[in-house]
Structure 1
């Protein structure tokens, strides 16, 4: 079987240099059903997400998409081109911000910028990478951002050569 067919779609540690920006191709339009399902699954009773009459009286005039759903979507949109098959573990998230609201019908796209990358001191052949994820709506407004630190696999051929 062709080795390229077995290669993970994500990037290995050595393929994530500081300063690299990955503009993720997959986008997602958020629906009312998405928001209600996520909000109820996570036991969040906030009426801004669930009660249309309550939300109508808010400064937004309509329900807001649950910010935790926006954060989860932001990370999820990055998976195919960043960590699919190459992530060992999420080590932490930091600096989570939601500078603009997300509403039903908004289409979200994402990008990831590599902020730091270093070889693991305790795990030979692996690396610790920190990225800044950003989510944008269809108008190009930043609606979410966070930093994420990950333990990544080194490239298998680099491990066998050392």
Structure 2
């Protein structure tokens, strides 16, 4: 099984350009919007949306941040995260529409060992999502609790760090 990085493996300042892309479909937007009980016609009603500044339906921004926030998982956090601690900032500088193909980048902003747990550290991430025209569509700052590297057999707990 592929795994993400342990706390010690994160390098502050490193930028990861994730290799995955995903074309957002009408079905993605309708299902996510319906599952989350968001009745906003901007996401669901084509006729309503034609009269807005966008002229068409806009993909639910919470779907966008969820997708952009997932592109990093295989490379960075698969099986090594203990959870999100928070999102400090989320912005959507440009709307996403049905048919847009998104990609993401992640920058490691900072990290420190946990003060309350001896098996983890805290990592600050910045995730950026771009459409097929390299237009920034999503930016978010996230804080995650990451596992420290387990001690090897015969290695002391301190030696693992």
Global fold match (TM > 0.5): yes
Structure 1 residue 103 corresponds to structure 2 residue 100: no
Task: State the 1:120 CA deviation.
Answer: 1.0
- SS of 1:121's partner is coil
Q: 1:144 aligns with which of 127, 130, 138?
A: 138
Residue of structure 2 in register with 1:67 after alignment: 61
Give the structure with the larger helix fraction: 1
Residue of structure 2 in register with 1:23 after alignment: 17
- SS of 2:95's partner is coil
Task: State the 1:158 CA deviation.
Answer: 6.9
CA distance in 2, matches of 1:153, 1:134: 24
Give unpaired runs (5+ residues) of structure 1: 1-5
Which runs of 4 or more aligned residues in structure 1 lie more than 3 Å from their structure 2 counterparts after TM superposition? Answer: 157-161
Q: How many aligned residue pairs are there? A: 156
CA distance in 2, matches of 1:40, 1:153: 35
Give unpaired runs (5+ residues) of structure 2: none
TM-score normalised to structure 2 length: 0.92
The CA deviation string for residues 53-86 of structure 1, in whole angstroms up to 9 with x for no partner, is 1111111111000000001101111111111000
Trace 1:2-151 onto structure 2 (pairs within 5 A): 6=1, 8-151=2-145
TM-score normalised to structure 1 length: 0.91
Distance 1:123 1:94, change over 3 A: same
The CA deviation string for residues 85-136 of structure 1, in whole angstroms up to 9 with x for no partner, is 0001110011100000000000110111011100111212411001001100
- Cα RMSD, aligned residues only: 1.4
